[in-house]
Amino acid sequence: MRKFWIVIIGLFGVIAAQNIFAGDDQGAKNMKDHNVKLEKAIFAGGCFWCMEKPFEKLQGVSSVISGYTGGTTETPNYENYAAGGHIEVVEIAFDPAQISYDQLLDVYWRQVDPTDAGGQFVDRGHSYSTAIFYLNEEQRRQAEESKADLEKRQAFEKPIVTPILPAETFYAAEDYHQDYYKQNPIRYKYYRNGSGRDRYLDQIWGKDRKEWTVREIKMKLSPLQFQVTQEEGTEPPYKNEYWDNKKPGIYVDILSGEPLFSSTDKYDSQTGWPSFTRPLVPENMVYREDRKLIFSVRTEVRSKKGDSHLGHVFDDGPPPTGKRFCINSAALRFVAAEDLKKEGYGEFLKLFNNNGG
């Protein structure tokens, strides 16, 4: 059935090709710190196109890869995976220090119809069925407990039939299936809307529940601040609040208030955006690979607690770090040195006792 939709929605692709917006969903979330010990999770939820986006947006998720598992074909591809008994899955690499397997399970249940043993929504057959594939005994235990908790909540009128199975060999799907929602946003939108998935999930979990947070954020932020922090936009150079601010103080996340940068590390990069040689609190930084530019791979910088898009970091900065944190003013709030104690940032006063910033 999805192949039918590929043909139908392909007619709309050329018409809307130039409507891909700059604030599209985040790129692959590979961690910059390669010393982080990542774990993996494998979930089947029907069409793997629809399973990538919900997990890729999570803090602590390094990558989400569409693929096949559970069958007998040694080298399955899109043409033969179903015949060999494989089903579509996503393999998630995540940092357990930032996000737990239990949290991934909670997200998983909210993307699928776990009462349907014959497929998912418009896609029918075993190859589109649901399943949780555990990679160790602890994952099996947590998956069983999570499923039992879901059954107790009685969110579904029918019994939950999603099986919990030992992981088998995972085969990555073809490149054109990876990040489909980003590479083909218009086609993805038509397919997802037509599949009935969102209508079902809104009916079960409530559409307003997830939109209320967005409405709250919009009430707190200006349109530009929302575009930058929530939609990964970029403000104009030299026409933003802090690019030439020389006052001593610190810069905090516009939403969460977590401390991010200090004026003691700020310098004029001649770019028209606030630039810093290093973060004030390294633990408050999250780094992700950004492939939105066709011929360039950048490192996106986000705040840990607020999950706000801040900007990017480059390796062309001055000593002593050689880094240039190029940050949007719209993602920041400046707290002057004389106001630090009053606003609860007194621990940073020592930076300015003998330094004008």
Q: Cβ(330)–Cβ(321) under 8 Å?
A: no
- pLDDT reported for residue 326: 98
| pLDDT tens by residue, the chain, 357 residues | 555 444 444 444 433 333 333 333 333 334 444 567 899 999 999 999 999 998 988 888 999 999 999 999 999 999 999 999 999 999 999 999 988 999 899 899 999 999 999 999 999 999 999 999 999 999 999 999 999 988 988 888 899 999 999 999 999 999 999 999 888 888 888 888 889 998 898 888 876 555 555 766 787 889 999 999 999 999 999 999 999 999 999 999 998 889 999 999 999 999 999 999 999 999 999 999 888 888 889 999 999 888 899 999 999 999 999 999 999 999 999 999 999 998 889 999 999 986 544
> Which CATH number does the domain housing residue 91 bear?
3.30.1060.10
Closest to 71 in 3D by CA, of 80, 62, 63, 60:
80
Is residue 171 domain-shared with residue 242, that is, in the same domain?
no
Beta strands in the chain (DSSP E): 39-45, 61-69, 87-94, 119-120, 123-124, 130-134, 164-166, 171-172, 249-253, 259-262, 266-267, 275-276, 285-290, 298-303, 309-314, 324-327, 332-336
For residue 150, give Cα distances in angstroms to 14, 110, 123, 133, 142.
42, 10, 24, 17, 12
Predicted pLDDT at 203:
85
Same domain? 317 vs 336:
yes
Among 326, 330, 337, 351, the one annotated catalytic: 326
Boundary-marking domain end, from 205, 229, 264: 205
Same domain as 258, residue 236: yes
Letter for the amino acid at 330? A
Same domain for 171 and 243: no
Cα 124 from Cα 171, distance rounded (Å): 21
Residues 135 and 22 in one domain: yes
Same domain for 179 and 88? yes
CATH assignment of the domain containing 332: 2.170.150.20
| Whole-number Cα distances in Å, 259 to 97, 181, 241, 354 | 20, 33, 18, 20
pTM for the whole structure: 0.55
For residues 225 and 298, membership in a common domain is answered with yes
Asked about 50 being catalytic, the answer comes back as: no
Please tell me which residue in 41, 47, 131, 335 is annotated as part of the active site: 47
Q: Which of 205, 224, 247 is the last residue of a domain?
A: 205
Q: Is 27 in contact with 290 (CB distance < 8 Å)?
A: yes
Same domain as 255, residue 234: yes
Are 47 and 194 contained in the same domain? Answer: yes
Say if residue 152 is in the same domain as residue 263.
Answer: no
Structure tokens at 25: 């969903």
Q: What is the DSSP string of 229-270?
A: HHH---PPTTSSSSTT---SEEEEETTT--EEEEGGGEE--S
Q: Are strands 130-134 and 164-166 parallel, antiparallel or unpaired?
A: parallel
Active site residue 326: yes
pLDDT of the residue at 293:
86
**φ, ψ for residue 83, nearest 5 deg:** -65, -30
Q: Are residues 270 and 286 in the same domain?
A: yes
Count structural domains, the chain. Answer: 2
Last residue of a domain, one of 171, 205, 239: 205
pLDDT of residue 216: 66
- Return the half-sphere exposure (C-beta side, CA atoms, 13 A cut-off) of residue 128: 20
Structural domain range at position 126: 2-205
Residue in 324, 89, 332, 126 with CA at minimum distance from that of residue 229: 332
Cβ neighbours of residue 43 closer than 8 Å, sequence gap 6 or more = 51, 89, 90, 92, 104, 108, 131, 132, 133
What is the pLDDT at residue 23? 34
Residues 103 and 12 in one domain: yes
Q: What angle do CA 140, 143, 145 make, to 5 degrees?
A: 110
**Neighbouring-strand partners of residue 68:** 88, 171
Contact between residue 12 and residue 187 where contact means Cβ atoms under 8 Å apart: yes
Pairing outcome for strands 259-262 and 266-267: unpaired
